[in-house]
Amino acid sequence: MNQPTPLFAEPPVPVVTGLAEMVSEYLRPEEVTMVEHAFELAARAHEGQKRRSGEPYITHPLAVATICAGWHLDAQALAAALLHDTVEDTKITQHEIAQQFGRQVGELVEGLSKLERMEFQSEQQAQAENFRKMLLAMARDVRVILVKLADRLHNMRTLDAMALDKQKRIARETLEIYAPIANRLGLHRLYQELQDLGFCFLHPHRYQVLSKAVKAARGNRRELVGKILNAIRSRLESQGIEASVSGREKNLYSIYTKMAEKQLPFSKVLDIYGFRILVKDVPACYLALGALHTLYRPIPGKFKDYIGIPKANGYRSLHSTLFGPYEYPIEIQIRTVDMHRVAEAGVASHWMYKSSDASLNEVQQQTHQWLQSLLEIQTENRDPVEFLEHIKVDLFPGEVYVFTPKGQIKSLPRGATCVDFAYAVHTGVGNHCVAAKVNNELAPLRTVLKSGDRVEIITSPDAVPHPAWLSFVASGKARSHIRHYLKTRQFSESAELGERLLNHALRSLQVDPASITRERWDQMLKGDRAKTREEVLAEIGLGRRLNLVVARRLLQGHELPPAEPRSTRPLVMIRGTEGLAVQLATCCRPIPGDPIIGVIKKGQGLVVHTHDCKHIRQNHPGADEWIDVEWESTPGRTFEVTLRLMAVHKRGVLATVAGAFSEANANIESVRQDPRETGAYATINFTISVRDRNHLAEVMRVLRTLPEVVRIARVEG
């Protein structure tokens, strides 16, 4: 398997000489001796142990120490890197290490050791506790995470020796935890290599295909890239700006995530190459930006000033995307040499570059603040799983993390709403949610949440999921539960309605519905597309089958006793709370007290209209299509009605009318006024909630007593 090119060359075996040469370049002689002593102890401790690849085990801690030496970490960190597996895998104790190398080395090794001697309820809890321990040790000494990242980098480079299931688990863990930590600490090169290695083992086929495509594109675009490089250098030189210009290629995982997020084929990903300009100081950065904006036209909205507003990990640079030759998009980064050091090495630049540069101090300060926040979180969250979820808020800015009223964190996809949050809490909460409080303020259920929001869901036992929720939920869990509920509820309601319709058809044929036996149903279902009686009834309720046709099929070849005399009671009683199988028409908006008629609409079920609705007479003129329906004596809810009101156009009229609605115990759902009206009178549409027709008459009577109201009428639809 072709793997990404390593950041640091791995020393050959034996490698102690190579490591000694590296560290002797920046460590004092006595510190080099300490590192060599640590190697000797590690070599004795791991003697006879082999890695999965068959190599001597000592090659691993030696490779980790070599990577750390590339960051110019101090002797204590290098000793800990060489000894990081001894406490875990050999008889050497932390106490012995502390005695020989000092307390700090002992604590570093302890922070790097796993908690294998403790028992956990699940693998997830064990992983979370290991991360909690490591991150807390990191908060006390950032060298812990630097050695751990070097350890993970070497493990990823040699991961092909592991079984496939372990490869995928470790690769996913690297992409989810270690790569984001490297990014959070500003270790950009390490971040990219961990991403590519994780991608390589988690999706090997995709990695190979994309790698070949990039290599092919590299050859095809070589001439274009060279042309752009020459043009940039010439323009900067003509403006008297000293700069180092280089082309760079996006890492494979970055290209892959862009393709996945934007649903693009590789041929449509044009910004595979970028260009980096290094200048001497900050003013030169902005001068170079201006020069390049006059060379190529900038793309609107694609400029980021990370010098004026640095990233949380201390990254500083100017980013801009330009229209290059043939409208080819060019991504440029402009920064100083010192900014580039920080961008490449992040917090490790503290050891690599011993200077008083302000940007390095700023990185240390920001890292220190973040690490201290870990300790603060720990004091409030003893549960390791919850602690890890809190840490992810910082590590994954691409996702949304919101808090429950009790302080628990829920991870949601970007664009998630209050409904997504409700289902993340519990399916029952999602199914019965009616409103939400976001940061202690009432908010609609479709409100899009931001990381850090505190969300409280208000529920009602009578509330049910609404089909409209599917238009704005972002999480697969919410979408799945809503669809399942609606499908199940529609089926049960449609089956209930279908049974009533079928019984009506049987009675019209002078047959008692109770005389239809299971054997009759079994005979009818032979060769039918429906497998059960309930499926047939649901199709009748949804208008996909005619009740009379099903009734005649049930009666084929049988004589049945006559039915009881037909009742004068209407076929279907309407309460208004039936849901999906029985719907109130939006064209006439019937309310209790209105004379009503029903019609079966294919795929929707029973739709109830007012008796004089123009729509039902135009689209269903045949009276044989109509179904007798009647209101229950005690409807189960309020109903929306729209009133068109003409009033005197003067200040305060809306407040006066709103007061009248309140006096009549009618809730205003919405108000709409034609903004073009400028005369003496204004026409306003109020959508209100009323109990029935008598309540509506009372509301209209109260409104007519207002001197400001000239005319009032009920609006159909």
Q: 204 or 579, which is more confident?
A: 204
Task: Return d(Cα 494, Cα 500) in angstroms, integer.
Answer: 10
pLDDT band for position 479 (cuts 50, 70, 90)? confident
Residue 200 has a pLDDT of 92
CATH annotation of 212-354: 3.30.460.10
Count, residues in the chain: 717
Residue 154 has a pLDDT of 93
Q: What percent of the chain is modeled with pLDDT above 70? A: 77
CA distances from residue 357 to 158, 342, 343, 349, 588 in whole angstroms, order as listed: 37, 10, 14, 11, 74
Degrees, nearest 5: CA angle 333-334-335? 120
Provide the residue type at 273 as one letter: Y
- Residues designated catalytic: 88-89
The CATH class, in words, for 398-474 is: alpha beta
605-640 pLDDT, tens per residue? 678 888 888 887 777 665 556 777 778 776 667 888
185-195 pLDDT, tens per residue? 778 888 889 99
pLDDT band for position 509 (cuts 50, 70, 90)? confident
For the chain, give the mean pLDDT.
78
Please determine, for residue 294, whether its predicted confidence score (pLDDT) is greater than 70. Answer: yes
The DSSP result for 240-251, as a single string, is T---EEEEEE--
Residues 19 and 62: beta-carbon distance below 8 Å: yes
Task: Collect all residues with Cβ–Cβ distance below 8 Å to 420 and sequence separation of at least 6.
Answer: 412, 413, 449, 473, 474, 475, 477, 478
Residue 117 has a pLDDT of 43
pLDDT band for position 287 (cuts 50, 70, 90)? very high
Task: Return d(Cα 129, Cα 633) in angstroms, integer.
Answer: 61
The CATH class, in words, for 16-202 is: mainly alpha
Residue 131 has a pLDDT of 67
Residue 9 has a pLDDT of 38
Residue 371 has a pLDDT of 59
Residues 694 and 591: beta-carbon distance below 8 Å: no
Mean pLDDT in residue range 497-502: 79
Residue 13 has a pLDDT of 37
Residue 334 has a pLDDT of 93
Nearest residue to 101 via CA among 117, 84, 118: 84
Please determine, for residue 95, whether its predicted confidence score (pLDDT) is greater than 70. Answer: yes
User: Treating both helix axes as pointing N-terminal to C-terminal, what angle do 103-112 and 75-83 enclose, rounded to 10 degrees?
Assistant: 50
Residue 566 φ/ψ region, left for φ over 0, alpha for ψ in the -120 to 50 degree band, beta for the rest: beta
Please determine, for residue 491, whether its predicted confidence score (pLDDT) is greater than 70. Answer: yes
660-693 pLDDT, tens per residue? 888 888 888 888 876 666 678 888 888 888 888 8
Residue 419 has a pLDDT of 92
Domain range summary for the chain, segments of one domain joined by +? 16-202, 212-354, 398-474, 568-633, 639-715
Residue 456 has a pLDDT of 93
305-330 pLDDT, tens per residue? 888 777 756 778 899 988 888 777 88
Tokens describing residue 629: 């329906």
227-240 pLDDT, tens per residue? 888 899 999 999 89
Q: What is the pTM of this model?
A: 0.50
Residue 368 has a pLDDT of 56
372-409 pLDDT, tens per residue? 555 545 554 455 665 555 455 445 445 677 888 887 77
Beta bridge partners of 573: 630
- What's the fold here for domain 639-715? Alpha-Beta Plaits (3.30.70)
Task: Return d(Cα 499, Cα 538) in angstroms, integer.
Answer: 8
537-560 pLDDT, tens per residue? 877 777 677 777 778 778 876 665
Q: 240 or 412, which is more confident?
A: 240
pLDDT band for position 362 (cuts 50, 70, 90)? low
